[in-house]
Amino acid sequence: MHPARSTALARLRARRHLKHARPGELLWLFDLDNTLHDCSKGIFRAIDGAMAQAVASTLQLPMDQANKVRKDYWRRYGATVIGMVRHHGVNPHRFLAMSHDFNVPELVHAETGLFQSLNRLPGRKVLLTNAPLDYARQVLETLKIQHLFEGVWAIDHMHLQGTMKPKPSLALMRQIRAQLGMPAGQIILVEDTLRNLKAARHAGMRTVHMYHPATPFSAAHKGRNLYVNLRVNSVRELAARAHAMNTRGTAGRA
Ligand SMILES: [Mg+2]
């Protein structure tokens, strides 16, 4: 096991054993990109560029073809790395490290008062991202919000029976629910990507759609979907409306 992965999981598990969920206690699973920070200002471009470069050098392709491969696998599997592992047998950790090899802090942009808004949310918080662990930690540290999260669940941890299973895998959602050891109705996924929210809802969790116009396919979903409990535009708005989620069970759309 990758040492960083081992540490993050141990931290998450250790906390779970130390602190049992109280009746009605909420656990917020936060996505990272375009949920806690705005990737449209440069990070997506940097990731796309670095990932196309990683595809090009791994498969010995010119950049235009590498870009096509990158987009094709992203559409088919929800993450380019899955296609690269499945069809070309690449080492996923090395590929993801190459894809996020840029100066992260200088490209991070977020809403003002993010720390205060997150801190106002009652309940525990865990990060759940399809991004690699090292990148996720850099973003959290740049935003100075790392201490608000009791654990980080990154793509490094998303393996089931030897296969990479990132969001929106239903099996992943069920594994997370089981590992957190609390009723699904007390777990809330906050995300900008609708298909991930749909999977969480199928696993019994509740859902908050963090609408971001730069999220791929977001323009096709102007309204709120049936599997979305609450739709917000910022963490600040979520903090102001969190009482709408502070009910037990999976009912209660707001
Ligand atoms: Mg996202």
State in Å: Cα 101 to ligand 1 middle: 19
What are the pLDDT digits (tens) for 167-185?
999 999 999 999 888 899 9
Question: Which class is domain 41-99?
Answer: mainly alpha
* Distance of CA 126 from the midpoint of ligand 1 (Å): 14
CA-to-CA dists, residue 106 to 56, 61, 139, 163, 222, angstroms? 25, 30, 10, 34, 31
pLDDT confidence of residue 254: 44
Q: Supply 17's token pair.
A: 């054993």
- The domain locations on the chain are 3-38+110-245, 41-99
Distances in Å between the Cα of 143 and the Cα atoms of 18, 87, 103, 111, 113 are 27, 36, 14, 10, 10
Give the mean pLDDT of 182-209.
Answer: 94
Give me ligand 1 centre to Cα 192, in Å.
5
Please tell me the distance from the alpha carbon of residue 127 to that of residue 154, in angstroms, as a whole number.
8
Distance 106 CA to ligand 1 centre (A): 19
Condensed to tens digits (0 to 9), the pLDDT of residues 49-78 reads: 999 999 999 999 999 999 999 999 988 887
* Ion ligand 1 neighbours, Cβ < 5 Å: 31, 33-34, 192
Residue 36 in this model has a pLDDT that exceeds 70:
yes
Percent of the chain exceeding pLDDT 90 equals: 67
- Predicted pLDDT of residue 2: 46
* pLDDT of 107 higher than 90: yes
pLDDT for position 174: 93
Q: What topology is assigned to 3-38+110-245 in CATH?
A: Rossmann fold (3.40.50)
CA dihedral over 78, 167, 157, 232, signed as positive or negative: positive
What is the distance between the alpha carbons of residues 16 and 232, in angstroms, rounded to a whole number? 29
Rounded distance from Cα 200 to ligand 1 centre (Å): 14
